[in-house]
Every structure is written in C-alpha cells, then in structure tokens.
Amino acid sequence: MAAYIQGMSWLTPLGSGLEDVWSRLLEGEAAKVAEIGKHFYIPLSPECQECVAALGKNPRLRRSSAISYFTAWAGKTALENAGVAGVNGGRIALVSAVSSGGVIYTRRFYEGIVEKGTASPLLFPETVYNAPASHLAALLGIDGVTYTLAGDSSVGISAIKLAAQLLETNQADHCLVVGAEEVDWVLCEAYRRWRLTTSKPEITLHAKHPAGALLAEGAAALVLGREGPVRLRRIHGGAPFFSRAGARAAISQVYSDLADGEISFVVGSANGSFVDNAEAAALGEKFPGAPVLSPKAALGDALGASALIQTVAGALALGKHPSVLVSSVGFNHQAAGLTLETS
Amino acid sequence: MSTVVVTAAGIVSPLGRGLAETTSSLLAGRDCVTPVTRFDVSRCKSSTAGQAPESLLDPALNRKEQRLHPAARMMVAAVRELREQDPGFAPTFCVIGTTSGGMSFGEAFFRSLSKTEGRPPRAAWLANYSPQKPVLDAMEAAGFSSPSEIIANACASGTNAIGHAFSLIQGGLCESVLCGGYDVISELVFAGFDSLQASTAEKCRPFDKDRTGLVLGEGAALLALESLDSAQRRGAPVLAKVAGYGISTDNHHLTQPHPSGEGPYKAMSRALASSGLDASDIDYINAHGTATPFNDATEGLAISRLFPGARVSSTKAMMGHSLGAAGAIEAVFCILALQEQFLPPNIHFRAPDPGWDMDIIANEAREGELRCALSNSFGFGGTNASIILTT
C-alpha cells in the first residue's frame, strides 16, 4: 500500500511560503547569515522568530523552547494545507523527527547545575526529545499514536517511513510527520570540534577538502494519507555506516534499492561536509545526468528537519519533473532516501 | 497476520548480566540500589540509583569498544548475549528506545568548555554522545546492517520499540526485528528528576500507601523478534510470543498524567484488543510503578478498573527506573516469569493503598501458573505503552 502526501509546510531561513521559498531556492538565493554566541554563524530565520511570537500566548507552549514552537507551527500549517479537519476523534498519528532536540534548554539546565548548583524544574521537562511532539499532540488533541524519532540529518526519512508503516498496518488514517531543530552556541561548538561545520559565514559544496556545514534552525511537516496529489513511490529507511568512509557505500546501497523507475530530479543533502563527495560519487554512478538541487547550500543543515525540508522541496519539484529522488546522507547514523511521483 | 515470537534476549542491568543471573536476582528479590558515586549528588534530595557495575560489561571488548560510552558497552554486551542464544538471528530492521543517549559525554564536553574545568574537550565525547551511536556500535559488534530507528518517547521508549517491532512483523512488513532499549544514569537526568521532586531519599516503594518517589536505574535489553514461520523454518528457539501492543497519548500535562488514569487505561485496553485476549486472561502485570505519587495513583486506578484483583508488581524497587531501557528490561523480566513460572516481587512494600483492587506481589517472589503477562511503560509527554507477552 502506498502513502501519499496530502499537505505540507516548512519554516526555513528563506521564509515559510511553499512556492515563494521554492522559487527562491531555484533562483539560487541563499539565506542571510547571522552570528550567534561565540562567533558561530547560522542562516538567519526571522520567520522562525515570528512564528514563536504568533504562538506565544498558548498556555501549553508558554514555557517551551523554540523547537516546540517550530514543531507546533509546522504541524498545524501542514494540516491546514492538507485540509484535514477534525483531528479530535480522527485517527491521526504524529511522528516527530529530531536530532539535537531541545538543546537550548538542555544547555541552560546543565549550565545551572555546573555554574550555580541549581537545577530548574521548569527547564528539565522541556529537555526531553519528545517534548515538541507532546506539545503538538496536546494542541491538536491527538490521543493515540505518537512517536518521536532521534537520529542524524537522515532521521526525517526514517520518520516518513514510520508514518507509512503506521498507515500500512492500519494504525492510523492520516499521519502528521514533523521535523524540527533549534540551534544553540554549544551545538555549534560541538559540531565545529567534531569537524563537521565551518566557522566561516558561508559554505562551499563539493570542495576537495570540505570545510564543513552551517547548522540551521527550522521545521517542515507532511500530512500523509492513503490518497493525495503526491505518491511516495518507495522509501528507504536507512543504510547504516559505521565510519565516514562508509557513507558512500551506504548511499549507493540506498540508490540501488530505490532505483525501480526513472529519476528526473534529485534533491540532495550536500552541506559542505564529507557528505558532499560521498553523495556526488554515488549519484554520478547510479543517476548520471540527473539534475541535483541541494537546499542545504541555501538554508543550512537543520538536522532533524532537513530531510523533511528536502522532501517538501521534492514534492514541489514534481511541478516540472515527473519523478524525484530525495537523498539524505546523515552525519553519523544512516544514509536514506525516497522517491516521489505525481499521483 | 503473523504470529510474533521472541527467539533470544540479551540483558545487562543492576540485577546482572544474562538471563540466568537476572532470573536469580528476581527470584531473590535483590535490592540493587546503591549510593551514586559517578557524580556529585550532594545537592540532591536523592542519593541512590540502580547502577550496573563495571564488572558486568563485556571483558572481551576490543580497544575501540573500550573507548565507547558505557551505554554502548552495555548494548554491545546485550547484543552478544542475544547472539549467543540465537546465532542465526539476522534482523531486517532495528528499533531501539532511549531517552538520553550518551548524555554523560555531553556533560563532559560542556564542563570542558567552562572556565573552571580546564580539561580539553575530546572528540570521542562528541562522536559517542548521540542516541544512535550505541545502537550502531551494537549492530557493528553483531555484524548487523539493517536500517534502524531510535524511538525517543521518554520512559515509554523501550516498550514502544518492542511494540513497533511487533506491529511490523505482525503486519507482514518485516520478518525479523532487533528491538529493545538502553539508558545510563547521568548527572543531568539525575538532577532533573530530583528538581521535579520525583526522586526519593528513601527506599523506592511502588504502590505503597506511603510511597515517596522513584530512584533511577540503568541498563540495556535487546530482544530478537521474528515471525513464528520464519523462526520455525530455521529451527530457532522460542522464548515467548508477543501477543499485543497498545499506545496512547495523555495530553493533560508534559510531566503529569491525568488523574483519571485514562491514558494508561487506553494503552492497556488497546493492547488487549490487539491481542484478542480477555482481561481475565492476564495472569501478571509488570507495572510501570515508579513509586511517584502521581504515576502509581493513575496506574493503580487504571489496572483496578480493567483488571480487578490482578497480580501486579513493579520491579523498579529492585533496580530503579531505567527510563528508555525500562520497557525492554521489564519485557525480559516478563519472559523470564513466563518461562520459570514465577511472579517477580515488588520489594520494600509495606501497606496497600485502599483505593486499588490489585494483588501486589509483596516483597517475595511467588510461584504461579502464568500464560500471559502485560508490561506497562509510561513517560513524560504523556506517552503510554503496553505490551502483552504469552508462553
């Protein structure tokens, strides 16, 4: 049984309008970059701040971190886009994808312990990975199936796969899949020392010696159901790799498993890190000549949100291309992918 | 729909390593909660936890594995245990639950950045911090290369992982799935529960009228789930069947369940419906039973309503609450209870709460005929999950 995309949303450093951001991505426009914390740069996202302000008076969210606001905004907007009404009583499942989760409150909570010897009971509950999903479920009245998945940048594909499994095993009639991420200076510091991100304000894709990615904040959401305008032809839940050198073989395996038809456009995951060359080599081998768009060049890598942002881009690309591959190579977990076509 | 069986289980917890040691500890009602020495707890109300001793971790770890986070080392030990029982198990999918991954390495990294510590940050802390890393380490140690999902549904994660694996096999989407959960105590999480006044300075007394809170624990448990047809084809052992799974979301509050017990009631009802069993078929309930006033009140109400007079224990009094690992560890306890026909004890129990209709397995294990056991796990965010295991 196939799963279909019925609605979608995204909240990116280039904005939140589906067609508007898509056309700016196609024109090669990159988001403006802002400095945060201790000399780290991330793509600036004024609309993320606006969404926080717009949802800010909700009692359930009043103590929550930015990631919960992003999740709530993206989830609600995707349901509106799908025209799915009547969540209460409906069989709607929620799958949330995160990578670092509530890192701002986690850092602040631990900072309190280390520097002041105090632990705030207001911050701790918001540090759990499933806090954003819990808030969104409460706002929407979802009282059945709710999952949060953690992983690297490929976790959004795993979340879509899980949602499709929930539909196939008849545990839900619709599934809302949301990926979100927030950025804190400590996250930037960790990724820089891990040699995955650059300390410069811009990135270069496919460099011989990759300098690294820029982390970003944002969210994206899909509503999946058993019919809709975009069909998820195949979803590969992930090929693991145990070292960076294994990434190319992993994504090649994913492409081999997904290659059951024509691919006319690729939404790639190149981000300025080792991912670029692994993915490019595998694409050149399996899908030579297919045009590739790498949204992370313009938007940064929003980790838990990034594969869902790519999938939204893939669905929008179906306006001009009959079939699209969404390719995702994570930092330290899996390579994954999916193929899309119009119904 | 496929029948789902468990062909092997690996476990590391304060109660021991492996099925035999764990059974022995359960039968003896061993109290494995000890003073915390890994970090400073002098500012916390609570000062004890169920800690898995270093000696339980695999002595055969290679040099690379010795540098891993303790969570990964537990996972490696658990998967090796599982492989010894069923060397032919080859999962096509992997679902693991956790709440905090390699948190203590994140803490070390943060401390290394502070001006007072002066200890340089190590790349290994970053590489081994993320929740997927212990899963990858275990897969690599076992030679598995399937896709994997890391479920982070707070303290229900382990049961969710088993339940989701069950759904995939029962629905014919997978033939064999490695599932389970892990978590290791860390300063941040310890201080977090303490800050919420959920932890106790006393003994953990689940379902006691005068219970005062939880103690934390740690461990890892992995289960090999497979369709009965597939297991029979390759002559694999069958430890138990997974018969049902139920999940619900309680939207009352991020950290507190609705006082009505509706969330746990729905999860248990859905597990029953999914199994096709009647409430009277359930011979034993391994409760979530954290010993916090809120959890036990709502779970006690829900159990009394759905399973009046049921035989119930919380094994958390023996080893603490191991968060994302709890559901997987307690599923293994249920399998051992079914295999050895005993009811694990709810130690430190003194006085029943008059509001509930439950037969608490107080302080000592009991012999008993068991065919069906239900295991509950509930977590922050209102995640509730129940699974049913049968002989």
CATH number at residue A291: 3.40.47.10
- For helices A66-82 and A131-140, the axis angle rounded to 10 degrees is 40
Tell which phi-psi region holds residue B232, choosing left (phi > 0), alpha (psi between -120 and 50) or beta.
alpha
Provide the pLDDT for residue B116.
Answer: 66
Provide the pLDDT for residue A56.
Answer: 67
Residues 235-294 on B with a CB inside 8 Å of A are 247-251, 254-255, 263, 266
Q: Inspect the interface and report whether the beta carbons of B132 and A121 lie closer than 8 Å.
A: no
Residue B155 touches chain A, beta carbons under 8 Å: no
* DSSP code for A208: S
State both tokens at B67.
């540098």
Same domain as A171, residue A33: yes
Q: Inspect the interface and report whether the beta carbons of A130 and B381 lie closer than 8 Å.
A: yes
State both tokens at B226.
């497979």
Q: Inspect the interface and report whether the beta carbons of B382 and A190 lie closer than 8 Å.
A: no
Provide the pLDDT for residue B124.
Answer: 83
Provide the pLDDT for residue B320.
Answer: 98
- Name which of A61, A98, A114, A128 to mutate to probe chain B: the one with the most chain B Cβ atoms within 10 A of its Cβ: A128
Same domain as A236, residue A221: no
Q: How far apart are CA A24 and CA A299, in angstroms?
A: 11
Same domain as A175, residue A287: no
Which residue of A113, A137, A194 is in closest CB contact with B123?
A: A194
User: What are the start-end ranges of the H helices in chain A?
Assistant: 18-26, 46-55, 66-82, 103-111, 131-140, 155-168, 185-193, 247-258, 275-286, 296-299, 306-317
Of A212, A229, A246, the position where a domain reaches its end is A229
Of A181, A204, A229, the position where a domain reaches its end is A229
Which residue of B136, B247, B263 is in closest CB contact with A240?
A: B136
Same domain as A194, residue A143: yes
Containing H/E element for B331?
helix B326-340
- For the entire predicted model, the pTM comes to 0.97
Domain limits for position A310: 231-342
> What is chain B's mean pLDDT, rounded?
95
- Chain B residues closer than 8 Å to A169 by CB: 167-168, 170-171, 173
- Alpha carbon of B37: minimum distance to chain A alpha carbons (Å): 17
- Name which of A67, A94, A147 to mutate to probe chain B: the one with the most chain B Cβ atoms within 10 A of its Cβ: A147
Q: How far apart are CA A176 and CA A117, in angstroms?
A: 40
Q: Inspect the interface and report whether the beta carbons of A110 and B129 lie closer than 8 Å.
A: no
Percentage helix, strand, coil for chain B under 3-state DSSP, each rounded to 5: 40, 25, 40
Provide the pLDDT for residue A8.
Answer: 98
Q: Is the pLDDT of residue B239 over 80?
A: yes
The nearest alpha carbon in chain A to B191 belongs to A119
- Alpha carbon of A328: minimum distance to chain B alpha carbons (Å): 14
Residues 194-233 on B with a CB inside 8 Å of A are 194-197
Q: Which residues pair with B98 in a beta bridge?
A: none
Same domain as A257, residue A241: yes
Residue B143 touches chain A, beta carbons under 8 Å: no
Which residue of B123, B148, B248 is in closest CB contact with A193?
A: B123
User: What are the start-end ranges of the H helices in B214-325?
Assistant: 228-233, 262-275, 293-306, 316-319
Same domain as A49, residue A111: yes
Please, which residues have CB within 8 angstroms of residue A208's CB and are 6 or more apart in sequence? none
Quickly tell me which residue has 């701040």 as its tokens.
Answer: A49
Provide the pLDDT for residue A90.
Answer: 62
Beta strands in chain B (DSSP E): 4-13, 16-17, 33-35, 48-50, 93-97, 148-151, 176-183, 219-227, 240-249, 284-286, 310-313, 342-343, 358-360, 366-367, 372-379, 383-390
Same domain as A157, residue A71: yes
Catalytic residue status for B155: yes
Q: How many CB atoms lie within 10 A of CB B56?
A: 20
Catalytic residue status for B258: no
Q: Report, as ranges of residue numbers, the positions in chain A whose pLDDT lies below 70.
A: 1, 56, 85-90
Q: Is the pLDDT of residue B117 over 70?
A: no
* Cβ pair A162, B167 in contact under 8 A: no
Q: Which domains are seen in chain B, by residue range?
A: 4-390 (3.40.47.10)
Say if strands A323-329 and A265-267 run parallel, antiparallel, or are unpaired. Answer: parallel
Same domain as A48, residue A124: yes
Same domain as A284, residue A313: yes
Of A229, A257, A275, the position where a domain reaches its end is A229
Same domain as A157, residue A35: yes
Same domain as A142, residue A254: no
- Alpha carbon of B341: minimum distance to chain A alpha carbons (Å): 33
Burial class (CB in 10 A: 0-12, 13-18, 19+), B323: buried
Instruction: State the pLDDT confidence band at B283, using cuts at 50, 70 and 90.
Output: very high
Provide the pLDDT for residue A86.
Answer: 59
Which tens digits make up the pLDDT trace of B78-91? 999 999 999 999 99
- Chain A residues closer than 8 Å to B106 by CB: 106
Same domain as A95, residue A27: yes
Which residue of B191, B250, B381 is in closest CB contact with A133?
A: B381
Q: How far apart are CA B217 and CA B183, in angstroms?
A: 8
Q: Is the pLDDT of residue B322 over 80?
A: yes
Provide the pLDDT for residue B307.
Answer: 98
Average the pLDDT over B177-205 and give the result. Answer: 97
Indicate the number of domains in chain A: 2
